[in-house]
Structure 1
């Protein structure tokens, strides 16, 4: 804990990928005795998991789509959001602002840079996001989750710090729990998710792919799958026809515990998913979302697949036959899954929240933490590298 209590403002878009690491950082900063406020949009204020101590200030977040006719409205929203953020700064007096990407980060960081408030941006993906890219030259530090980040210009290398992607405490607490024993005649527990509401392509392909496994594997399957509400009945019927026991739901309250029990994960490659898989050490078959901006989900798989901790299948090649082939390669040898789990575990950065908090604390009192700079001796000993050329919710008073 530091000797002085300070104030920090976190800004994050209204998705779990942006907000979950913000919640983890807020929890760590609050534990150290600091005061933290969150700026987000209306959707973000409703995301589950927000710490009770963390007030959420809702500001307008202008969106700039492909239609130029909407740009003026978006610009007006950004300027209004900037004014509201400055008003919060006047009363809250933050030592630093931390942006986690997403539209609400834009007016907040714009306000911070105009008010000379030190600013850090955190990039959860392996491709620098649009808002973080826009401000990369104006912020004091860029925290990354991966040793290689595309769209991050080498001229910013001196301000880049590899910290990892903070995960929920409930997931991080499972890091020292051993990988569940997988024997030649034991159950093969498979966890399938596709995001907050499941993914239809997984509902359509995974049951058939599992049915194509050799009988010795298929008869040992125990599946837990998250589905879209409208897909539940059809997926249940598929598993019933294949004779595969499966528990299906649109949402699982105890997802961390289910991840701990799983021998294999099948799903998308969002930043939070990758962070949790590597925190716990679970092998995976990943199907990146093909419409993800800048194809960032495919980039997110790079470190994990290189290590042997995961297999990646592009959605255009994702078929029952290909899925069965990849599962068979991992699971036919009882040691295959355990080795992949260990490789995934080695990619984890369990000190991400602490290292990011150390970096943020370096503004307003402490010295800069060179130990977590890319190429330094961080907690995981990550290799040096950066892709070259690349509380209650309330609205701020207007």
Structure 2
């Protein structure tokens, strides 16, 4: 879809959200979009081709797919093409900002947010950058000094330029309203003889290691515990048949799918979650108040998932396992220990909820609505200590 074809009939006063790539970037943008629309603000979205699959989550707002390029791990010719795509995307974004009457542009990190933010800077449109992870991303580090505001999901976010810390604002990471709704419900631990519901997530595209380790680990559990398990697991299509057969052979009730559109509902019923430590996952676990076993992605940029996980682990809300230590034997021991000690699950659930920022979408919306060209208006969000 071309940017021109995506132009919608938007009146002046539109807040443009720039997010793409993975769900970790897009879901906070969806949460902010919902909050801004609740307030009567007009919203439009700019993304890349990967972000188009999340379109339905934004509702009926103008939506543009722009060229975007990445320089990471690429040869000289690929980098030339990346520059070309960024320039094309920036030019198209400039036209759209004028057509939509943009009053602010909010970027959610990654290369897909680069053309819209560069376009906003060239047109002197107020800008805000939201960092989801506990480590400021590489693109964000470059852009941060030039933007109107910097919003953080973690108060101790690493790699924030020293000169930008005084104006950085801790908003938290916005989560979907369906997740926020879980926060009002108490966590109920599994009974001694009741079902033990386990939710296994591998990120927006699934994770091969989950399919390799989790079923093998659960197969090692005592028969009495295996009979109580009810597993919901994200698995790639090419892995699902093998994983399902293993669960069936072990007599473990399991449901598998590459993608679950109703994650909030499944999270609501889960007693324990096994997942990667992406920013949105960590924020949603905290908001829902769910105990978790986190396995950080080992090749994440700047090892940011390990830092994300640390926030919950240090609070007693989660148990982290580095991928080399994430073996069937070690996972089986940990799952059994937690299943037989429901009080530990209750404590972890309480600690997770204490880390939640269920008002993050509102706080970020306050910050965005206070933006003015070349400066920020006063707002109620907490400033990050220098």
Query: What TM-score do the two structures reach when normalised by structure 2?
Result: 0.91
What secondary structure is seen at the aligned counterpart in 2 of 1:110? helix
Structure 1 pair 248–297 and aligned structure 2 pair: CA distance change class (3 A): same
Match of 2:177 among 166, 169, 174: 169
Q: Is the 8 A contact 2:174 2:361 kept in 1?
A: yes
Task: Give, in whole Å, the separation in 1 of the partners of 2:80 and 2:237.
Answer: 37
Q: Is the 8 A contact 1:217 1:332 kept in 2?
A: no
Deviations 1:161-203 (A, max 9, x none): 1111111111211111111242222221111111234222111
Match of 1:45 among 52, 55, 77: 52
Structure 1 residue runs without a partner (length 5+): 376-385, 387-398
- Partner residue in 2 for 1:224: 232
| Residues 170-209 of structure 1 mapped to structure 2, 5 A cutoff | 170-209=178-217
Task: Give, in whole Å, the separation in 1 of the partners of 2:223 and 2:342.
Answer: 16
Q: Is the 8 A contact 1:14 1:47 kept in 2?
A: no
| Residues 43-122 of structure 1 mapped to structure 2, 5 A cutoff | 43-65=50-72, 66-122=74-130
What secondary structure is seen at the aligned counterpart in 2 of 1:234? helix
Q: Which deviates more from structure 2 when the two are superposed, residues 104-113 or residues 39-48?
A: 39-48
Deviations 1:48-96 (A, max 9, x none): 5432232111211122243122222211211111111111222223222
Aligned-pair distance for 1:212? 2.5
User: Looking at both structures, which has the greater relative contact order when contacts are Cα pairs under 8 Å and sequence separation is at least 6?
Assistant: 1
Q: Is the 8 A contact 2:190 2:342 kept in 1?
A: yes
- 4+ residue runs of structure 1 moved beyond 4 angstroms? none
Deviations 1:95-150 (A, max 9, x none): 22110012221111112122222111000111111221111111121101111212
RMSD, matched Cα: 1.8
Match of 2:383 among 357, 373, 380: 373
- Partner residue in 1 for 2:157: 149
Match of 1:292 among 294, 300, 305: 300
What secondary structure is seen at the aligned counterpart in 1 of 2:199? strand
Aligned-pair distance for 1:251? 2.6
How many aligned positions are there? 372
Aligned-pair distance for 1:354? 0.2
What secondary structure is seen at the aligned counterpart in 2 of 1:14? coil
Task: Give, in whole Å, the separation in 1 of the partners of 2:245 and 2:95.
Answer: 55
What secondary structure is seen at the aligned counterpart in 2 of 1:104? helix
Query: What TM-score do the two structures reach when normalised by structure 1?
Result: 0.89
Match of 1:281 among 280, 289, 293: 289
- Partner residue in 2 for 1:259: 267
Task: Give, in whole Å, the separation in 2 of the partners of 1:36 and 1:128.
Answer: 25
Task: Give, in whole Å, the separation in 2 of the partners of 1:194 and 1:173.
Answer: 23
Residue 280 (structure 2) pairs with residue 272 (structure 1): yes
Aligned-pair distance for 1:216? 4.6
- Partner residue in 1 for 2:33: 26
What secondary structure is seen at the aligned counterpart in 1 of 2:27? helix
Task: Give, in whole Å, the separation in 1 of the partners of 2:136 and 2:261.
Answer: 31
Aligned-pair distance for 1:158? 1.1
- Partner residue in 1 for 2:244: 236
Task: Give, in whole Å, the separation in 1 of the partners of 2:336 and 2:55.
Answer: 36
Deviations 1:290-309 (A, max 9, x none): 12111111111011000111
